[in-house]
Chains A and B, each alone.
Chain A
Amino acid sequence: MLAWTIYISFIGVLVLMLLPKGNAALARSVALVFALLGLGIGIAAFTQFKAGEILAVADTSWVPSLGIHYHLAADGISLTLVLLTGLAAVAGILFSWNIEHRAKEFFAFYLALIGGVYGVFLSFDLFLLFVFYEIAIVPKYFIIAIWGSTRREYGAMKLALYSFIGSAMVLVGLIAAYVVSGAHSFDVTELAKYPFPHNFQMWAFPLVFIGFAILAGMWPFHTWAPTGHVAAPTAASMLLAGVVMKLGAYGCLRVAMTLFPDGLAAWKNFFAILAIIGILYGAMVALVQKDFKFVIGYSSVSHMGFVLLGLMTLNAIGLSGAVLQMFSHGIIAGLLFAVVGRMVYDRTHTRDLDILQTMGLSKAMPFAAVTFVIASMASMGLPGFSGFAAEFQVIVGAWKAFPTLAVLTGVGILIGVAYTLRVMQKAFFGETDEKEAHAHEPMPPISPQEKLGAVLLIGVSLLIGLFPRILLDIIVPSFDSSLFDWLRRLS
């Protein structure tokens, strides 16, 4: 049944392509229906999911001569990310309700991206995973280049090339692993059993890991992320930060770490240091940005650093923290971008913090201000929100694995509090110049769709923050499956 998350998205693309031109309202509604269907399927699968199992979804031979299978399956990790994708997709559409320009194409590209993302999370055949991974690249380019803002063509091209170079590295590693194993299979469960030669793992692991980590925004390959986020239209930034960056982290876990544990053991300190640098660097750069959206963009780099650090801890608590952080950051970053891009920028047409400061936005749009305050609290990792549950676990895991680095992580969180408070204060609670404030035209009120989207995302973040077990109960048992034999061996 889960496979229908993928199919329903691509059916949505076809339906949108066949819609009459120029009817934006119809296109939006159709897209929303298909996104809701995808989310519904995800939730239905979630309720029936038994913790610890690997849910078989589909498995048929695709290219027999190469041993490629159309193999879809899901464990707790995949399912968590499928849920995230569904939520982000629905929220993204709610926050792009004001798209009028070539709306039908916009939502067609949007659903194609979503379909590719679902596919990546559900693929257990690595060839198939790669196919979906690349399917997700192209729509991103067009969404940003056509509907984006600041330096959109540059941002779009940079994003596309970074992604493609990353996937090229992955491709080389995958083919090499396939040939070296001689298993005549791309199935991750098959390949995970094969003990690759040590020398091979030593170069194959960093190749594939970096290939995926580029998309996860790992420092120093993160530079596509801020420019891409800033250039993208709201829904696309939400998806980029919310889901696409998770593709990279998921690939690191599911492919690079699963296939090449020896390489992982040798390289883990190196990548842990890169992750920490990412956390600190992202946070510090976010501290000095003048553009509202750049702040959120760099904060994403910082928060994704937690995911990568969690992966490198190689203990169950760190890993489950990383997966939970993927989910949590997907929701929170989506919310932050929604406030910046849709609620603020689409009404004020500026993202310059110095200008926003003079507008007194907390009075002009209280709903946006409240949403942003809540989102900021979640982002800073206040207890009660999902960010806390996730980052806390990552730090505990890191404390076990690299005690010194864990201290630096704490510093990263502190800087995170600083930039979040700074941007909150500047954007919403600046000194209002009364004359200045009235000089602006009255802004259109926050639409019901925006309110709905904001409530949805805040609600999910709170729910997971208060009851993290909802997700942890399916995430943690996943590490006991045969796919994670390497974890027990290494720890």
Chain B
Amino acid sequence: MNSLELLKHFLDLLKLAVPETVVVLTALFVLAADLVALRGLERRFRFIIGGMIACLGCVGGIVWMLISHTHENAFAGMLVVDPLTQLVKIALLALTIFTILLSMESDFTTHVGEYLALILLAAVGMMFLVSAEDILMIFISLELTSLSLYILAAFNKRDIKSAEASLKYFLFGGMSAAFTLFGLSFVYGLSGTTNLPEIAAALAGKGLDPLLVIAIVMVVIGFGFKVAAVPFHLWAPDAYQGAPTPSAAFIASGSKVASFFIFAKVMAVGFTGKEINGVYELAGSGAWHAYAPGWVPVVAILAALSMILGNLVAIVQTSVRRLIAYSAIAHAGYMLLAIVSHNEQSLASLIYYAVTYGLTSIGAFGVVAVVEQGTGGEKLSDFAGLSRRAPVVSFCMLIFMLSLAGIPPLAGFFGKFYVFSAAIKSGAPNLGLLWLVILAVAMSAVSLYYYLQVLKQIYVNDMDMSHGAGNSLNLTVLTQVILVLLAALVILFGCAPNLLIGWILAAIGSGPA
């Protein structure tokens, strides 16, 4: 192979990875611009200019993916570009944009360029993660994402809680990475390949090897940490509480979407336990009993535990961030349910759920940030009487909380409905997963209680006058516009779920190249 051919190969690869490349270049550009030109400006303007550049980069990536329709599988699954991965990447970039927009108003750091660049790098990691179908590539992108997120969590250097959050997140994350790697090494040992469909083919018909059990359990544990499923959730409440708000929002949204997508992919493609025809059959016909040695019960138990513990512990929280964290654990349980059900509907339901959940939780964190800036705290009592001080923001929070509780016609309701019906379908005709769905529905009824507690503070209770502070909420137009936009999206995707689902189904249906 001469050098010219090699160059051509690289150019081809680069063409496939245009969105990622654009975002990386934007990250570098933001860093450079901040270093060279923006230093002298006020922090506010640095954030606004830098953020605008970063958003432009993301928009560029989105536009490129919208106009290019590629089906490509480069280097045996190292980089898979098809409508489905494109769609998830577009969602990730959209979540990144919202995170950046929300961070523009923040004042916790003077390292504006670094902060924005890290967000973008984390986004790049997520994008590669989504595209990977090779366990090595999966691991590398997972690390790129995680390392960026650890730093983002620690970014508020003046706050010891931020450091604590980051350290906990890092230690747990490091452990989980070790577990994942260990499990994946077993998988490689058993199958002799790093490519997911080939792994499936190699493992098919082997039955439940004890080594395979260890491998599967390790991988599930590793991903369990990532998605904060019980009993691997312990980092989440502290990380959500201590991290700067935009970082927490990004951990709760973008990271969730990417991790769940790859989790589903590894489980459904890699450990499918049956012969796969064609390269890519994530959304395969999936007869529920025909496949899946081992991991379905494991994940089902994780799902059940997450739903129970997340919802019950959230009830007693007094800090809204911790409340959102525990509710996130519960939502991870619902999403795991989608992974467990593993049929033609479940992947679509998982993506729908994860994306709408991401939008909602960014919005919720946005409101928390507004309240924190106004009152200096994020306890439930700090939200008292918010509806009279900031009716628009309060209405947005109403939408976010009700969507998380699963009240129609909001996106959260339809997501739950879609996941539950996928789960019941996968057990048909004897309704094998019905117990899990009943648990999930019962637990979501419990969840209404604590979401209403937040809304009660906002709408029912009167402001605590003794605080004195907080009469002036620093409500910028930008924040309000973003929050209203997010709330509008939550309503829109709830009232017209087909906008998103039709797109997802079309992407899944387009199948392998």
Contact = CB atoms under 8 A, between A and B. Distances in A.
Contact of B452 (A160, A172, A179): A160
B452 A157 contact: yes
A153 B456 contact: yes
B511 to A, nearest CB: 16
A383 to B, nearest CB: 43
Interface in B431-446: 431, 434, 437-438, 441-442, 444-445
B417 A175 contact: yes
A135 B498 contact: no
A66 B408 contact: no
Interface in B218-243: none
A63 B424 contact: no
B287 interface: no
A399 to B, nearest CB: 39
Contact of B497 (A63, A130, A137): A63
Interface string B423-466: 01100110100100110011011001100100110011000000
Interface in B407-423: 407-409, 413-414, 417-418, 420-421
Given A65-B502, A180-B429, A153 B460 contact: yes
B25 interface: no
Given A134-B413, A135-B408, A138-B402, A171 B498 contact: no
Nearest to B441: A168
B307 to A, nearest CB: 13
A175 B413 contact: no
Contacts of A160: 448, 452
- Residues of A in contact with B, size category: 20 to 34
Contacts of B387: 105
Interface residues of B, number: 36
Chief secondary structure at chain A's binding surface: helix
Contacts of B425: 179
A19 interface: no
A130 B429 CA distance: 24
A209 interface: no
B501 interface: yes
Interface in A139-196: 141-142, 145-146, 153, 157, 160-161, 164-165, 168-169, 171-172, 175-176, 178-180, 182
A135 B501 CA distance: 22
A63 B501 contact: yes
Given A172-B438, A175-B437, A145 B456 contact: yes
Contacts of B445: 161, 164-165, 168
Contacts of B53: none
Contacts of B420: 171-172, 175
B505 interface: yes
A164 B448 contact: yes
Interface string A78-122: 000000000000000000000000000100000000000000000
Nearest to A135: B408
Contact of B460 (A142, A178, A179): A142
A195 to B, nearest CB: 14
A417 to B, nearest CB: 39
21 contacts: A63-B414, A64-B498, A65-B348, A105-B387, A134-B408, A135-B408, A138-B407, A142-B455, A142-B460, A145-B460, A146-B460, A153-B456, A160-B448, A161-B449, A164-B448, A168-B441, A172-B420, A175-B421, A176-B434, A179-B421, A179-B425
Interface of B: 348, 387, 402, 407-409, 413-414, 417-418, 420-421, 424-425, 428-429, 431, 434, 437-438, 441-442, 444-445, 448-449, 452, 455-456, 459-460, 497-498, 501-502, 505
Given A63-B501, A169-B441, A175-B424, 20 more contacts: A63-B498, A65-B501, A65-B502, A134-B407, A135-B407, A137-B407, A145-B456, A157-B452, A161-B445, A168-B445, A171-B420, A171-B441, A172-B437, A175-B421, A175-B437, A176-B434, A179-B421, A179-B424, A179-B425, A182-B428
